Homo-oligomer: A and B are copies of this chain.
Amino acid sequence: MASVTFKGVFPILVTPFDDHGNLDLESFDRMVRFMADIGVNGVTIIGVLGESNRMLDAEREQLIKTAVDAADGRIPVIAGTSYSGTRATLELSRMAESLGAAGVMVTPSRESVPNEDRIFEFFQQVAEGISIPIVVQDHPASTQVHMSVSLILRLVREIPLVACIKEEAVPTPPRITALLNGIGDRAVTILTGLGALYGAFDLARGAHGFMTGFAFPEVLLALVRSAKNKDFDAVHDIYHRYLPLIVYEQQPGVALRKEIFRLRGLIASSYVRHPGANIDPTTADHLKSLLHKMLPGMDITRPIEV
């Protein structure tokens, strides 16, 4: 298993299907290899973008295996293992560990009566059953769970396996400041998500990189390089240059992003599992025009230069 420090760029991968909705592991393998080739710091699979909530356990197993094999020790694989029950989350996390995942990404589930103590216990119990690090995903837009800053800091303080916060509760910039102030010396990092929508602003606040599904991780790598050099003018410029694409791509719905991955030659079909919506022809056209405008003359099936 590749060891992992949660700094840099961790693309969240889509889950490719064929046009009948069957797993397309060949595309999945290709996507993972591509990511390793362009130098990302790891990949995250079976997240919201990966349509995790439409997947059987056996399919999760296949995906983890495939990704770990494809990564081949070159990059760590983080597996999303969130489930509505604590024990099931723990079992899925154990499976991920046993299959070679370098970490798990976990988000709490909505309960009819929200209760932060229960959320703490949830992470605690999961941590007790595994030995790989945990990424706490804070994404109320998909979970309907609002974690307070003090809850997250309690997770950081009391659960040693918590190694990273994927921060996606808007507005993210002040939240990142509050978390960094609270984390202190603990070696826990903060990655921003949300398709990089607030990327430059979150890096300026001290975020350590990206864990998100933007389909041109080359751009994110350039952003992180400049941020590492404290060159925030360059960060701003790169962010500004690609921002229309970032904004367009982060619209709700997995289909848009899958279509870009398809256009990049990474997956064979942009099929989304029901009840998710597939891309409509007009939107596909507009997307193509936008790509032409933003990346003129580029062959996007190859790594792009930023």
A contact residues, range = 35 or more
Question: Which A residues fall within an 8 A CB radius of B?
Answer: 21, 51, 53-58, 83-88, 91-92, 109, 111-116, 118-119, 121-122, 125, 140-142, 146, 148, 169-171, 173-174, 177, 197-198, 200-201, 204-205, 236, 239-240, 243-244, 247-248, 251-253, 256, 273-275, 280, 282-283, 286, 293
B87 to A171, Cβ gap below 8 A? Answer: no
Q: Besides the contacts A57-B57, A173-B283, what 18 more A-B pairs have beta carbons closer than 8 Å?
A: A54-B85, A56-B92, A85-B273, A85-B274, A85-B275, A86-B275, A87-B273, A111-B275, A113-B140, A114-B146, A115-B148, A115-B275, A170-B251, A174-B280, A201-B286, A204-B286, A236-B293, A240-B244
Say what secondary structure dominates the interface of chain A. Answer: helix
Give Cα A116–Cα B171 distance, bound, in whole angstroms.
18
Report B-chain residues with C-beta under 8 Å of the C-beta of A239.
Answer: 244
Give Cα A162–Cα B85 distance, bound, in whole angstroms.
29
Report B-chain residues with C-beta under 8 Å of the C-beta of A118.
Answer: 274-275
Which residue of B has the minimal Cβ distance to A57? B57
A55 to B88, Cβ gap below 8 A? Answer: yes
Report B-chain residues with C-beta under 8 Å of the C-beta of A21.
Answer: 87
Report B-chain residues with C-beta under 8 Å of the C-beta of A56.
Answer: 57, 88, 91-92
